[in-house]
Structure 1
Amino acid sequence: MSASAAAAHGQPVVEVSNKPLLIVGIMLAMIMQVLDSTIANVALPHMQASLGATFDSVSWVLTSYILATAIAMPLTGWLSDRFGSRRLFIFSVAGFIVTSMLCGIAVNLPEMVLFRVLQGASAAFVGPLSQSVMLDITPREQHAKAMAVWGMGIMVGPIMGPIIGGWLTDNYNWRWIFYINVPIGIATLAILIALLPSRPVLRRSFDLFGFSMLAVGLAALQLMLDRGHQEDWLQSWEIRIELGLAIIGIWLFLVHMATGRRPMFDRDMLKNRNLLLGLFFMTNIGALLMATMALLPPMLQTVYGYPVIETGLVLAPRGIGVLFSLALAGILAGRVDPRALIGTGMAITAASLWWMAHWSLDMSFHPVIWSGLLQGAGIGLIFSSMNLVAFATLPPRHRTDAASLLYLVRNLGASVGISICTAQLARTTQASHEILAGNITETSLAPLNPHLLEGAGSVGASLFSMIDAEITRQAMMIGYINDFYLLMTVALVSIPLVLLLKRPPPVPTTGR
């Protein structure tokens, strides 16, 4: 048996006085943090008017949060060792509560962006710490169930965020998407203060150069991905500069990791094959889940004409599929090779995307519901099983660092997936519109003669607008279908890589 596997077998379980209540507190913290990454999306138009912002500048409400989270997240392992995981977790939740309240009372855009930066920095540590604590307080034979429970919060949150955000904005005020965190956060904080254990504090040197290069690279990459579509990608000097900084920063970080005396992350951890493949699969999960969730709401509203609330209801079954498959994965983990579950989940996800690529303009809402249920089931199987495999051969001392990396690449995968799909959608829609419009002739418009319509004044102009709107709708449908094919290809290409994963060591029996 390898040293890492042996370390995993010899993992001490941290005892707590009330584990179920502590898990509730951990999950509340996790759900709050995940919800806040998507809940503000639907409220941007309302924020724009209230904060006196322009259409372009109000997007910084989202960008600032993403940037702060990406920069702060790699620090989780070092801060946890240096100050203690208990202190860091409690400080993060407390900071999240305070900054949520500040976001709710912001009166202009600069204030909102500043408070969102602080909120993102506070939230960055919650995800990795919640995962490592769940593993610490759970015996190894129950890790699959623990990861299934933890996955419910992290996977369902992005799906429910827009629905909850839309309901709060429509029925109350956009400020309530931030105020809602305060009472929930106070209850969460009380549970954590009373029950949360801590790991021993370690004196660990801080890799300033490595962190600086990683921060510059991640910040530039996130900015480029977030603003690329708006600035027409490489046609803009801003995007070119951000791309250059991203390449330089990440390259110098990787070189420093390979050659530095005391790099930011332990090189032994990054030699673990399951963790490295886990990073790849988590990137794909971020792209598959978040890109699909970014495409579907505008598609349903613009192409099919669904109202906001109905859009949320039609998409909700995706969350039901995730919950079902996470629970199923927890049950099957001790009996079925988790690598088989990951491969099955990828195949199911690919099948759901193939189904979505065959949607038509005249279909009912039923294919949206059933394909979403199927895709949620696939994503849930991958996520729960991949977390189990990634940590199965990893020494417990590396858990917090590994969790922060897995969480980070999932977010990066989401940003990359959304940017690529958005760019392809715009490009394909424009090209398809030109092709479709080129086929509109006097013959195809008969009995509506274009020459007669031109002389019909406003009535003719309205008819031309209706024709153009229908062409645009069909062109957009072609663009969405191409995106679904692209995501399906990503899922299919990932399936053979499952064979490279090492099977987790046998779970020790407890005799219970």
Structure 2
Amino acid sequence: MSHGPGLSKPAVEVAAPGWLTASIMLATVMQVLDTTIANVALPHMAASLGASQEEITWVLTSYIVASAIATPLTGWLTDRIGRRTVFLGAIVGFTVASLLCGIATSLEEMVLFRVLQGICGAMVVPLAQTVLLDINPRERIGQAMAIYGAGIMVGPIIGPTLGGWLTESFNWRYVFLINLPLGIIALAGILVFLPQSATKERRFDVFGFAMLALAVGSLQLLLDRGQAAGWFSSLEIWLYLGLAISGMWVFVVHCWTARNPFVSLAMFRDRNFSMGLVFIFIIGMTLFSGLALLPPLLQNLLGYPVVQTGLVMAPRGVGTMISMILVGRLVARFDARLLVCIGILVTAWSLWLMSGFDVQMDSRPIILSGVVQGFGLGFVFVPLSTLTFATIAPQFRGDATSFFSLVRNVGSGVGISIVTSVLSRMMTVNHEELASRLTAAAPQVRLQMPQLLTASPTVAARVDGLVTQQAAMIAYIDNFLLMLLLTLAALPIVLLLRKPKAAGGAAHAGPAAVAD
């Protein structure tokens, strides 16, 4: 097939790359949606399944932990039984698991089916990235990563909106059942258009995988359970921390010394790939932390209903889509590192805008900051993905995309845990600070609020409510400023990324290289 004048050949020739890309991205959006779409339906699930509020959170935890553990398996399975077989199996498994979740009658069934859904869904995103890298000529890698990034970044934004609408208009079960038509369409497209890849003998390193699974699973449990368990005042959290550190240490030592390790550490010698992992970890913290903070701010503090919350957050996705369209074309013409810097600065600007939120504002500051942030993150994600995989050796691509997804997800877990803890802590601190200023001796009380001196319970309760509201808003602002600092901290990493050489300029660049 022709790829246009002047374009190099892709690593894998397909008959209809457009249709295949559409099918891949449908599967990707379906999987990414499920990381957030179920959140708003949890109270309804709890009532229907007879679970407590603490127990129902395992619907989310089971999916996250299973997905984290299964993600690194993708590269090995692809080498062993072929990319097409793994992709089809993952979509079938995810779709069937979604159906089972939609008809579950108990919490135990729901958690079991969510584990299956997490295992199958974990393979969809890295496989989608691998296929897009392989079926596009290197001059179009930037555009391919723009399409991929749109699915990855827009999915979590529209998830709560869609989940809230389905739950309120129909039933919480439709949060899962909506995956059936999407999965069938994606399955048909991949079945028709994706050719089978070559397989190779690759021994399964049971011990290496077990240690990595122990480390990743323990870390995810630590992050997910930390706030509820009281963090490091709890023996449970110390146990998770010890298992995570021990598992990762043994895994690295084993991969360094074993003859056929689960993952070859040689791929981490690629500087762009290693620095890209550090970068995507920070971006994962920033992107998903903001998404985790806004719904409770809008609903609990400003009184927005669920559907309106989703509508106010939706323009963030518009900003992302606009930037994806632009950067997909710019990344082949300009230094990708410059585009990443622009994206970081725009994202930091959006967080600065968010630090100006107040309890009396309308929706305009939320929409404006959301559009700006979506635009900035799009400018970061696409050139970063291009740079990360520009020089990685083709034989490492399957494992590399798996670790890229894994590190992004771990970063999001760390970020959400940090902002949740900071929010809880600062709400208490701010409340005490504000309340300490409302004493009988304070001039502002005597002159501006003399009614407080009457000690009326009604007046005191109203004032305490206002203090709590202001303390919460200040805590959110503290978090936005913290995310701003984290975002700017990523800037120096750009200096460690190398600009890929032009076509043919690097012997090892392979099909993933991009033109300057």
SS where residue 229 of structure 2 aligns? coil
Once residues 223 and 407 of structure 1 are traced to their aligned partners in structure 2, the CA distance between those partners, rounded to angstroms, is 18
- Corresponding residue of 1:387: 385
Once residues 206 and 334 of structure 1 are traced to their aligned partners in structure 2, the CA distance between those partners, rounded to angstroms, is 38
- Corresponding residue of 2:22: 24
- Corresponding residue of 1:410: 408
Once residues 311 and 373 of structure 1 are traced to their aligned partners in structure 2, the CA distance between those partners, rounded to angstroms, is 15
Once residues 60 and 455 of structure 2 are traced to their aligned partners in structure 1, the CA distance between those partners, rounded to angstroms, is 49
SS where residue 12 of structure 2 aligns? coil
1:447 correspondence with 2:450: yes
What is the identity, as a one-letter code, of the residue corresponding to 2:60? L
Once residues 307 and 507 of structure 1 are traced to their aligned partners in structure 2, the CA distance between those partners, rounded to angstroms, is 52
SS where residue 220 of structure 1 aligns? helix
1:315-353 C-alpha deviation (Å, 9 max, x unpaired): 111111111111111110121000101111111111111
Once residues 150 and 350 of structure 2 are traced to their aligned partners in structure 1, the CA distance between those partners, rounded to angstroms, is 20
What is the identity, as a one-letter code, of the residue corresponding to 1:505? K
Q: How does 1:77-226 map to 2 (within 5 A)?
A: 77-226=75-224
Once residues 246 and 266 of structure 1 are traced to their aligned partners in structure 2, the CA distance between those partners, rounded to angstroms, is 20
Q: Is the 8 A contact 1:40 1:162 kept in 2?
A: yes
What is the identity, as a one-letter code, of the residue corresponding to 1:363? M
Unaligned runs of 5+ in 1: 1-8, 454-459
| Bigger Cα displacement from structure 2, 34-43 vs 304-313 | 304-313
1:498 correspondence with 2:494: yes
Q: Is the 8 A contact 2:8 2:139 kept in 1?
A: no
Q: How does 1:68-79 map to 2 (within 5 A)?
A: 68-79=66-77
Q: 1:331/1:324 Cα in 2 relative to 1: closer, same or farther (>3 Å)?
A: same
Once the two structures are TM-superposed, the CA of residue 265 in structure 1 deviates from its matched residue by 1.6
1:281-336 C-alpha deviation (Å, 9 max, x unpaired): 11111111100000011011222222222211111111111111111111101210
Q: Is the 8 A contact 1:11 1:396 kept in 2?
A: no
SS where residue 125 of structure 1 aligns? helix
What is the identity, as a one-letter code, of the residue corresponding to 1:31? V
1:484 correspondence with 2:487: no
How big is the alpha-carbon RMSD for the aligned residues of Structure 1 and Structure 2? Answer: 1.7
Once the two structures are TM-superposed, the CA of residue 260 in structure 1 deviates from its matched residue by 2.5
Once the two structures are TM-superposed, the CA of residue 163 in structure 1 deviates from its matched residue by 0.5
Q: 1:321/1:220 Cα in 2 relative to 1: closer, same or farther (>3 Å)?
A: same
Q: Is the 8 A contact 1:141 1:508 kept in 2?
A: no
Once residues 124 and 276 of structure 2 are traced to their aligned partners in structure 1, the CA distance between those partners, rounded to angstroms, is 20
SS where residue 481 of structure 1 aligns? helix
- Corresponding residue of 2:45: 47
- Corresponding residue of 1:469: 465
1:439-473 C-alpha deviation (Å, 9 max, x unpaired): 222361733145451xxxxxx3x433222111111
Q: Is the 8 A contact 2:316 2:371 kept in 1?
A: yes
Once residues 257 and 72 of structure 1 are traced to their aligned partners in structure 2, the CA distance between those partners, rounded to angstroms, is 18
Once the two structures are TM-superposed, the CA of residue 478 in structure 1 deviates from its matched residue by 1.3
| Bigger Cα displacement from structure 2, 102-111 vs 326-335 | 326-335
- Corresponding residue of 2:508: none
Q: Is the 8 A contact 2:318 2:371 kept in 1?
A: yes
Q: 1:189/1:476 Cα in 2 relative to 1: closer, same or farther (>3 Å)?
A: same
Once the two structures are TM-superposed, the CA of residue 506 in structure 1 deviates from its matched residue by 1.6
- Corresponding residue of 1:372: 370
Unaligned runs of 5+ in 2: 1-6, 506-513
Once the two structures are TM-superposed, the CA of residue 235 in structure 1 deviates from its matched residue by 1.1
Q: Is the 8 A contact 1:334 1:507 kept in 2?
A: no
Once residues 271 and 167 of structure 2 are traced to their aligned partners in structure 1, the CA distance between those partners, rounded to angstroms, is 45
1:129-172 C-alpha deviation (Å, 9 max, x unpaired): 01101111111111111111111111100001000000000100
What is the identity, as a one-letter code, of the residue corresponding to 2:253? V
Once residues 159 and 54 of structure 2 are traced to their aligned partners in structure 1, the CA distance between those partners, rounded to angstroms, is 22
Q: 1:172/1:440 Cα in 2 relative to 1: closer, same or farther (>3 Å)?
A: same
Q: How does 1:283-362 map to 2 (within 5 A)?
A: 283-362=281-360
Once residues 438 and 246 of structure 2 are traced to their aligned partners in structure 1, the CA distance between those partners, rounded to angstroms, is 49
- Corresponding residue of 2:4: none
- Corresponding residue of 2:233: 235
Q: 1:269 aligns with which of 267, 270, 274?
A: 267
SS where residue 200 of structure 2 aligns? coil
- Corresponding residue of 2:435: 437
Q: Is the 8 A contact 2:279 2:493 kept in 1?
A: no
SS where residue 56 of structure 1 aligns? helix
Once the two structures are TM-superposed, the CA of residue 118 in structure 1 deviates from its matched residue by 0.4
SS where residue 392 of structure 1 aligns? coil
- Corresponding residue of 2:399: 401
Q: Is the 8 A contact 1:283 1:410 kept in 2?
A: yes
Once residues 57 and 281 of structure 1 are traced to their aligned partners in structure 2, the CA distance between those partners, rounded to angstroms, is 34
- Corresponding residue of 2:509: none
Once residues 361 and 93 of structure 2 are traced to their aligned partners in structure 1, the CA distance between those partners, rounded to angstroms, is 47
Once the two structures are TM-superposed, the CA of residue 12 in structure 1 deviates from its matched residue by 4.9
- Corresponding residue of 1:457: none
What is the identity, as a one-letter code, of the residue corresponding to 1:385? P
What is the identity, as a one-letter code, of the residue corresponding to 1:506? A
Q: Is the 8 A contact 1:287 1:415 kept in 2?
A: yes
Once the two structures are TM-superposed, the CA of residue 195 in structure 1 deviates from its matched residue by 1.2
TM-score normalised per structure 2:
0.93
What is the identity, as a one-letter code, of the residue corresponding to 2:127? L
1:166-222 C-alpha deviation (Å, 9 max, x unpaired): 000010000001000011111111111111112201101222111111100111110
What is the identity, as a one-letter code, of the residue corresponding to 1:335? R
Once the two structures are TM-superposed, the CA of residue 508 in structure 1 deviates from its matched residue by 6.9
What is the identity, as a one-letter code, of the residue corresponding to 2:205? D
- Corresponding residue of 1:260: 258
Once residues 417 and 493 of structure 1 are traced to their aligned partners in structure 2, the CA distance between those partners, rounded to angstroms, is 14
Once residues 214 and 401 of structure 1 are traced to their aligned partners in structure 2, the CA distance between those partners, rounded to angstroms, is 13
Q: 1:436/1:394 Cα in 2 relative to 1: closer, same or farther (>3 Å)?
A: same
Once residues 490 and 451 of structure 1 are traced to their aligned partners in structure 2, the CA distance between those partners, rounded to angstroms, is 46
Q: Is the 8 A contact 2:267 2:396 kept in 1?
A: yes
TM-score normalised per structure 1:
0.94
SS where residue 254 of structure 1 aligns? helix
